[in-house]
Structure 1
């Protein structure tokens, strides 16, 4: 078959005429279909983090605070046998979720790996996440012998498979021992790996005996992420800043308030309805706090807007349709809270205390 000598082009107007589908996240804001690297020093806890991700995606549960899309997972645990995997999994959960496929042996890139993955994904179309632990186990040329071309060629082969099968392919890799101000430069090998990838996640502990680590992530479809994690009982968890703790403290009462419909009212009325949970703020403080965390609220399925009427400012809050599950989100078609009948104010904090 002869190759065409003409470039296949399209105009920006044509592109605008065909809106793109939204990103189908595996972990919202962190992992999407494509090729990703997870780098960390030996024994830092990468495999624990990978297994934790497997369990979260299989169950559709939150992973380090990121929402996941419930899917089947293929985990190529090429450095761990069944006995170790069994012991590790029991440390994290007593109930095995459905849809977690495990494998301890795989061929090399270019020596049958792609074909075996193709076959597995065709037989199990529910798999949306594939984890290879580690890259060194599937490479013909590695370490100091790998050139930029070798690195890019191997990564490009994995990237092509991920794109063709529309899966998130997460490859675990090691870091260089030499420190660097840019954590992404510490991924072992050349820039050929990260150059072909859609995103890179780095897990670094300053000292091996420390129970905390810094997770940084960057990519084509994600905003830069930097999280402090804690490792306890073989499980990674996200350390909350005081600001995040305040939001977590407020969320349950906001959700309870909005469960019956949207809220439209003044900041003073919102403070009264939230009761004790808003005791840390006055009306003006709460209004400013919520508006400064509008994106964080949206990530939790809560839409916030402000309105003005008769020189007064009103807050509009409602749950997104996906968060209510029944389509009755208290919002109109434009995402605004419907005008709701005024209800008697909740008892004030003073009357509650008495």
Structure 2
């Protein structure tokens, strides 16, 4: 329902659209999309007695993000470095011999995908001014 890059949603990282068939309808669908969110479609019903929307059901299949080529390369590199690497974004690109992205884009991507780095690749990332610190955590170390 929302397209293009102009206006209010031009700079938004995500959006939620509540769609009803008619103005006074008590059933609706909520579509959630975003750069850092899994796309979702939720069916809701409005409870007049409680004055809130209630979740009826969520779409059976959630959107699975395809593997991120850059994060895959970072994961492989950090594991080759005994599970730890520290330096600048440009230093990381040079050490990985990775030419497909610029250093400022790499820094932003690592920040934006920090949770995906941890969840999918077991890598904790921290920023210290211009430096990036990447540490591989074996799965058993995360639960301890």
- Which residue does 1:181 correspond to in 2? 29
CA displacement 1:103-154 (0-9 Å, x = unmatched): xxxxxxxxxxxxxxxxxxxxxxxxxxxxxxxxxxxxxxxxxxxxxxxxxxxx
- Which residue does 1:280 correspond to in 2? 100
- Which residue does 1:254 correspond to in 2? 74
Matches within 5 A, 1:96-245: 180-182=28-30, 183-185=42-44, 200-203=57-60, 215=61, 227-228=62-63, 238=64, 240=65, 245=67
- Which residue does 2:24 correspond to in 1? none
Bigger Rg, structure 1 or 2:
1
Matches within 5 A, 1:18-167: none
Provide the C-alpha distance between the structure 1 equivalents of 2:93 and 2:57, rounded to a whole number of angstroms.
42
SS of the residue 2:29 aligns to = coil
SS of the residue 1:268 aligns to = helix
SS of the residue 1:280 aligns to = coil
- Which residue does 1:321 correspond to in 2? 138
Q: Which has the higher strand share?
A: 2
Provide the C-alpha distance between the structure 1 equivalents of 2:44 and 2:107, rounded to a whole number of angstroms.
41
Post-superposition offset of 1:285: 1.1
- Which residue does 1:305 correspond to in 2? 126
Gaps of 5+ in 2: 1-26, 31-41, 46-53
SS of the residue 2:58 aligns to = strand
Provide the C-alpha distance between the structure 1 equivalents of 2:57 and 2:123, rounded to a whole number of angstroms.
29
TM-score by length of 2: 0.52
CA displacement 1:179-199 (0-9 Å, x = unmatched): 84344238xxxxxxxx7x9x9
Provide the C-alpha distance between the structure 1 equivalents of 2:44 and 2:90, rounded to a whole number of angstroms.
50
Question: Is the contact between residue 44 and residue 57 of structure 2 (CA under 8 Å) also seen in structure 1?
Answer: no
Alpha carbons of structure 1 residues 274 and 200: separation in structure 2 relative to 1, 3 Å: farther
SS of the residue 1:303 aligns to = strand
Post-superposition offset of 1:280: 2.5
Provide the C-alpha distance between the structure 1 equivalents of 2:75 and 2:29, rounded to a whole number of angstroms.
41
What RMSD, in angstroms, separates the aligned Cα atoms of the two structures? 3.0
